[in-house]
Amino acid sequence: MDNPLAMKLEQFTAFTADERQRLDELVSGRRHTYAARTDILVEGEKVNEIHIVLSGLAARYKILADGSRQIMAFLVPGDICDVEVFVLAEMDHSIAALAETECAVVPKRIVESLLTESSNLTRALWWSTMTDSAVLRERIIDHGRRDTRERLAHLLYEILLRYRIVGEAEDNSFRFPLTQEELADATGMTPVHFNRVLQELRSDGLVEFRAKTLRVLDPVRLKAVAQFNSNYLHLDRTEAGDGQVAERAGDLV
Amino acid sequence: MDNPLAMKLEQFTAFTADERQRLDELVSGRRHTYAARTDILVEGEKVNEIHIVLSGLAARYKILADGSRQIMAFLVPGDICDVEVFVLAEMDHSIAALAETECAVVPKRIVESLLTESSNLTRALWWSTMTDSAVLRERIIDHGRRDTRERLAHLLYEILLRYRIVGEAEDNSFRFPLTQEELADATGMTPVHFNRVLQELRSDGLVEFRAKTLRVLDPVRLKAVAQFNSNYLHLDRTEAGDGQVAERAGDLV
DNA sequence: CGTTGACTTGACGGAAGTCAAAAGGTGTGG
DNA sequence: CCACACCTTTTGACTTCCGTCAAGTCAACG
């Protein structure tokens, strides 16, 4: 099986055969499959393993007092659910599997020993954490200063790139198994209004979203509508020095 | 002079005399004072030092194509502007001093060597980074699912706690030198609407904001209005085992 | 005393929320 | 294999919150 974590981290740096093997060991140990709409981690939980998404789709979320939910981030294959376990006492938010989701479950001491052995892997993990933060910041911009149409376009374009990186959207079409209500919870809209905005993007010929599959029909115009600038995803791999740009994300960056 | 970085990190763990001295060295080297409304770092810049805010107030922001600005985070004394320099090629957003702001400017190799020497300091830096992410997530919730009144209350209460941690808001009152327009850019409102929301909080006897000073008149009710739960700031210092809870933030947590 | 920048107020418009119901899909059990 | 229940998506009518535009006040400062 391919290793989405390694595929993602290769956007940052090249690995030696040994490092690559370490990354493979990381995802080839214990695994757990979470059913659709079940929690992987809940707010307040003390965690002793890290969870790496291998397939499926998960989301960080919080439920407020009035029952409303905000999804703060999506976790696609290759994403790590809980790097914070190394230093934080307990989860400050929950993570749910939106569809059936398989995770590698790695005891934190395994990761710790791996980090002391390879500074390159340590740096790759830092890179992953820093880009996760950049994605959160971009979400704040989405909510604060982009109208709902731009906001949805921006989120979908980002998701497209992230799926491309792990090789799951070769033809700009990928399995995206969630409901409009869940996307509304991520974009800060009501389901009703979300539906109207989605219909706009559809009738403009930008995207198609049917049967749990998202197809981006016109990436160039979608990117323009979103005023998307991919710099915050840090896909340029400058260290490599070979001028190679975001291999798998391709011309969309 | 006191060391706001150390004060903040002590919320996470206790330091040995040696570690404490290392932290003091960190802020006692080269310094730079930035005038109000000048950039500390700009998007696209390649950075080779880290900047630690010692006094004043700064903000992470991005300007969009239509000229609107979104402030994604405030940087108060003790906050680090750019941990990402260790792995990211260039800044994906800008940081501006909102008031006159003094920063410690530390070459990144100094920090790197410090991190290899003390795993406790490394963990403290991780804690700081992870809580920064948690703050970003909370901002997403603010924008996505809280109305403007709750959103402003939430932001102000968080800022109050963060100033208390570094010893600058003993009496729930602190210097907060920015304009309503800047706060509007942080809360995703127009200046006009921001002004009305602020007036509401004022007339409810919750806060006072005059002469660049914010005074929280009724922290208990402000916290209730914001539906504030401080868990995401991770001020509990569980490792210490002495049951000591958020010393300087005190009863507000 | 006039200029400037920040704050405030009012009137109005529009984007998004709310409420309610209908239509379309999907899975399950009889 | 159909019927039913249930969930998701869609549509319509109405409301509300917030943005927009414009003018006016106020304090600081040269």
Q: Which residues of B touch A88 (CB under 8 A)?
A: 127, 130-131, 234
Banded model confidence at residue B140, pLDDT cuts 50, 70, 90: very high
Mutate which: B113, B130, B236, vs A, most A CBs within 10 A: B130
Counting residues of chain B whose pLDDT is more than 90, the rounded percentage is 87
Q: How far is B111 from chain A (nearest CA, A)?
A: 14
pLDDT at B195: 98
Chain-centre distance for alpha carbon A134: 12
Beta strand extents in chain A (DSSP E only): 31-34, 38-41, 49-55, 58-63, 69-75, 94-97, 101-107, 173-175, 207-210, 213-216
pLDDT at A241: 46
- A108-145 burial by CB neighbour count: b if 16+ within 10 A, else e? eeebeebbeebebbbbbbbbbbbbbbbbbbbbbbbbbb
* Chain A 54-93 residues whose Cβ is under 7 Å from strand D: none
Query: Which chain A residue has the Cα nearest residue B125?
Result: A87
Q: How far is A83 from chain B (nearest CA, A)?
A: 8
Taking the complete model, does pTM exceed 0.75, yes or no? yes
B224-246: per-residue pLDDT in tens?
A: 999 999 999 999 776 544 444 45
* Nucleotides in chain C near protein beta carbons (<7 Å): 6-11, 15-20, 26
Number of neighbouring beta carbons within 10 Å of residue B123:
17
Rounded distance, CA B194 to CA A47, Å? 40
Of B5, B139, B148, B142, nearest to B59 by C-alpha is: B139
| Closest partner CB to A92 (pick from B87, B126, B134) | B134
Inter-residue contact B11 to B235 (CB < 8 Å): yes
pLDDT at B239: 53
CA nearest to nucleotide C19 C1': residue: A192
pLDDT at A243: 42
Nucleotide whose C1' lies closest to the alpha carbon of residue B210: C7
Residue type, B120: N
Provide block-wise average pLDDT over 10 residues at a time, chain A (253 residues): 92 95 95 96 95 97 96 98 93 97 95 86 95 98 98 98 95 96 98 98 96 95 97 80 58 85
DSSP letter string, A116-182: HH-HHHHHHHHHHHHHHHHHHHHHHHHHHHS-HHHHHHHHHHHHHHHHHHTTS-TTSEEE----HHH
Q: How far is A45 from chain B (nearest CA, A)?
A: 12
Rounded distance, CA A53 to CA A49, Å? 13
B146-177: per-residue pLDDT in tens?
A: 999 999 999 999 999 999 999 999 899 999 99
Of B177, B169, B157, nearest to B219 by C-alpha is: B157
